[in-house]
Structure 1
Amino acid sequence: MKRLVCALLGLTLCMGVLASCAQGGPSGGGSSSGAGAPPDGSGGSREGAVAVCRVIDEDDGTLLLAKQDGGSGDVYRLDASGLPVTLEGESFSADEIESGMIVEVCYGGDIMESFPAQLGGVTSINARSDGFDDLAELYLEVLEDLWEVDGGLNENITKLGVDLSGTRLSGAEQSAVAWAFGEEHGLAPIQGTYEELLEQGYITGEPLEGSDAKYYQWTDGCLFSIREKEDTASFNLPAAKEGEDPSLKDYHVGGTVTFDAQKWRSGTGAYFFSDCTSVRSTSGEWSDYQVGSEAIS
């Protein structure tokens, strides 16, 4: 997937390139964050560190990773081409790494402070056969679908708000999805809820004539959000294709997610996907989501 990256993103990525020693070990001038510090807190690097991450996005061997149970800053970019790759210790191709997989990245210990961060001195990658979950990829697809509908709402925006705090994604996964979404459209994402963006001054309110109410809008930006509802046990599945088993034997009982998604620019400029539903298979893969209804404001 080709991405257009704006000047701001380009500057950020350049910092990553300059700091990157992922293939040949960390440089003397590189800085490191907590995961690269030794247990004694001396600030030096550790040898043989392992980062356990979920693959959020994959593009021609370049991986966008979210550290398992990590915070918003634990997002890494890694070029897997040319690295030894295994699946549970057996030979595996980097081309076969998919979004949703759990991977163990062996590296020198330093983490270069760019965003996404760079793991210094990467020596190998081991993909795991357990723990697959591509919910992040599903939500990235939802954001892209929202971008396409009623395109005038996000036309010519210079700021991109993303709120995934109402989902089960970890902090690192939320940041990685927001970054991938922004990168696709040449914008640096701003994470935050409507209330947080209002408090920070991105969203502003103008008094309505003859009323105490205000008209709220984001003049140069648009907020994309996904919020999960309580899980449901079943819903109307699409009809089985020819040759497919129409039964639910391949699905978890209760392995569904129901959510609302919207993009918002003003009190009179918003688009909604309501009661969207997806089912998770026993392998951890989420199905194409169904939209219950759509609305425009």
Structure 2
Amino acid sequence: MDINQLRPMIEDINFNKSRCFPLYPHPILMIETSGYKNFLVISDIHIGLEDKIRRNGILIDPRQNIDESIKLLTNIHWETGVNELIILGDLKSSIRIITRTEWDNVPYFLESLNKLFNVYLIPGNHDGNIKQLLPENVNLMRSKGIEFDNILLTHGHTLPRIGMNVEKIIVGHLHPIIQKEGSILQGNKIWVKINLTKKDLLEKNQKQNTRKLEIIIMPHFNNILDYYGKRNRNTSGTSGKSKLPLLDNMINRLNWSVEKAFLFTMDGSIIGSEVDLAELLY
């Protein structure tokens, strides 16, 4: 039977749900929607970070760094055939201003990608005034994020409404790295998956309904952040508040609790569990 004839049956079986998975060993997520449209997702490019690195005495050519990112995405495009790309926030590095490096390189980055992808940007906390840098054909989305079926994509610094249909939340913002002294992987970027549960009281019969949700924290896309994160990582924590405002709000205000967690290396190996979350999130 032709695959196109099977598609209506497949859609019924999946109950209109999307699915997602990392493209190991790259910091790229693939989303397959119930409508048979595929998206690549990257987060935290931080174009312009080279300026901060330069102040530490290390010279990095911003254009060369961006060209390496474009080359990787070009290769993934040809390997997967996917022509939709979501940037999950923090496209640039400065927060409120636009630096000369960003003026020169953000449009170049996007115009290069526009030759291969339809580009969607969900702005992050570092994307102030980003509209001035966007080519006309880049889709600027709301900072609260966008939904595909049962998946919510948001940068992680805002507090979006979590609809009852949402089963997975994809975020960036945190730049997660391994925090294990003495490990050869110490300071390497990772993927994080957190399983949350919440018990809601049903008014009709006063019984509790347990709801489950999964948060996937994406690794940063810019390899320079590996170096910058190791030198500037604050592990002391403050006031018990998470570095990920979305998760902090869910746990402390919306009564969600962490059931399990998994930390994955960039090749997909499990490197940690929920006991390792404290140093990562606080």
What is the TM-score when the length of structure 1 is the normalising length?
0.25
The structure whose residues are more often helix, as a share, is 2
What is the TM-score when the length of structure 2 is the normalising length?
0.26
